[in-house]
Amino acid sequence: MIAIITGATGDIGEEFVKKLINEVDSVWAVGRNESKLAALKDTYGEKIVPVKADLSDKEDIFEFCRKIADSRPEIGYLVNNAGVARMAPVSEFTLEEMSDMLDINDKAATLICRACLPYMAKGSYILNIASASAFQPNPYIALYSASKAYLLSFTRSLNVENEAITCTAVCPGWVDTKMLPKSGRNGSIRYPGMVTAAKVVESALRDCHKGKDVSVCSFYYRYMRFLSKVTPHRVTMKMWVRAIRQYI
């Protein structure tokens, strides 16, 4: 039985590697950087199978999906974790940046789910790493937030369509990883309710084993999710913009 982890070279991705490596025969570690993949193999040993793929590239995504079909592996876990983010108004993005973000955050995860389904049996798990930013629209991370809302919606539907497989959208708030810039226009950035990557992964695995379709790892962000359900989004958007205005 194998685990497939995209973005395995990132902070949350490596935590998944650490937690799953003893549960499976091998981990297909998907990443775009060969030397980071080689370092992962040095650290975690022969169970790591490095798979080089740039998930902003349609050909690489399709080639990886073909590799899955050709190998017909028994997949115990699929973790779609690769992702990119940038805080800026939409008008400051280039078309290429926008296209890459949507391809990495959504297209790759969606196609890889489809490619894995035939090789996942009862009791296997899909974890799609979304974000608490999926719970409401968030100006200035509009594209990221919308891409994660897509992933949340897609994952919950997939969970209903495939009763034997548990599909969980993992929705952490701020996580202390290299994705988050340490400083903004006016000095260092404060991230309320920030947690470690280890905490996100522990609670994601606990929640998927319980059969949950959404995993939110801290009380603070479970409360924020509740708030976004009971408060009009024009109000929660105003609160968000007020909180981040000093950094943009």
Residue 12 within binding range of ligand NAP, rule CB under 6 A: yes
Q: How many CB atoms lie within 10 A of CB 244?
A: 16
Residue 36 within binding range of ligand NAP, rule CB under 6 A: yes
Residue 82 within binding range of ligand NAP, rule CB under 6 A: yes
Query: What does the alpha-carbon distance between residue 31 and residue 7 come to, in Å, rounded to a whole number?
Result: 5
Which of these segments, 42-50, 51-59, 155-163, 212-220, binds ligand NAP (CB under 6 A)? Answer: 51-59
Residue 227 within binding range of ligand NAP, rule CB under 6 A: no
Query: What does the alpha-carbon distance between residue 102 and residue 107 come to, in Å, rounded to a whole number?
Result: 6
Which of these segments, 67-75, 77-85, 89-97, 239-247, binds ligand NAP (CB under 6 A)? Answer: 77-85
Active site residue 144: yes
Question: Which residues, 165 to 184, sit near ligand NAP by CB under 6 A?
Answer: 172, 174-175, 177-180
Which of these segments, 28-36, 87-95, 159-167, 219-227, binds ligand NAP (CB under 6 A)? Answer: 28-36
- CB-wise, 163 or 213, nearer to ligand NAP? 213
Taking the complex as a whole, the smallest distance from the CB of residue 121 to ligand NAP amounts, in Å, to 26
Residue 196 within binding range of ligand NAP, rule CB under 6 A: no
- CB-wise, 6 or 166, nearer to ligand NAP? 6
Taking the complex as a whole, the smallest distance from the CB of residue 122 to ligand NAP amounts, in Å, to 27
Among 32, 51, 73, 124, interactor with ligand NAP by CB under 6 A: 32
Q: Mark 107-146 with x for binding to ligand NAP (rule: CB under 6 A) and - for no binding.
A: ----------------------x-x---------------
Q: What are the backbone dihedrals phi and psi of residue 52, each rounded to the nearest 5 degrees, phi first?
A: -85, 120
- Judged by CB under 6 A, how many residues of this single chain contact ligand NAP? 28
Residues forming the active site: 144
